[in-house]
Amino acid sequence: MHISTVIKEIRKELKLTQAELGEIIGIARSSIANYERKGTKPSSDFIEALVLRLNVNAKYIFTGQGEIFESTKGKDFAQRFSELFPDVPPESEVIELINSLAVDVVRHQLIIDYIHAKNKFKDFIIEHKEHMKEIKKNRRIIDA
């Protein structure tokens, strides 16, 4: 399966437009269209964003085989999130609540907003983790 077909399939599975996927990943809608049209080879940054932000299985991206999404990453993140924020309902309850809404447009926008918020939090954790590594590294240099 060609990578352009895989990218389109992932987007359709997420029920996102090209513009919405572009917004989540941080690229223009036209770039998504080019990737899906076999016109442009996706950048490594784009592939990395699919894997890190949307929990897409890297093997699936390159081969079209296996599960589309990495379930273990999502579970690990959900577990860490619930430990940090015990008052926030689990992701399954949030999605169930969103899906219970009668208006498709509102439901769709809430899911997009939820994905954005989750990705921003994930980026914050990753950034903070790298920052803490740097502080520990500098502390070891000073202590030595």
User: Over the stretch 72-106, which tens digit does the pLDDT of each residue have?
Assistant: 444 455 555 565 556 666 666 766 666 666 555 56
51 vs 33: CA distance, rounded Å: 19
The whole-number pLDDT of residue 13 equals: 87
Q: Which has more pLDDT, 57 or 101?
A: 57
Torsion of CA 98, 100, 106, 112, to 10 degrees: 30
Judged by DSSP in three states, 129 sits in helix
Nearest CA to 77 out of 112, 128, 120, 118 is that of 118
Query: pLDDT band for position 63 (50/70/90)?
Result: confident
Are 107 and 95 in contact, with CB atoms under 8 Å apart? Answer: no
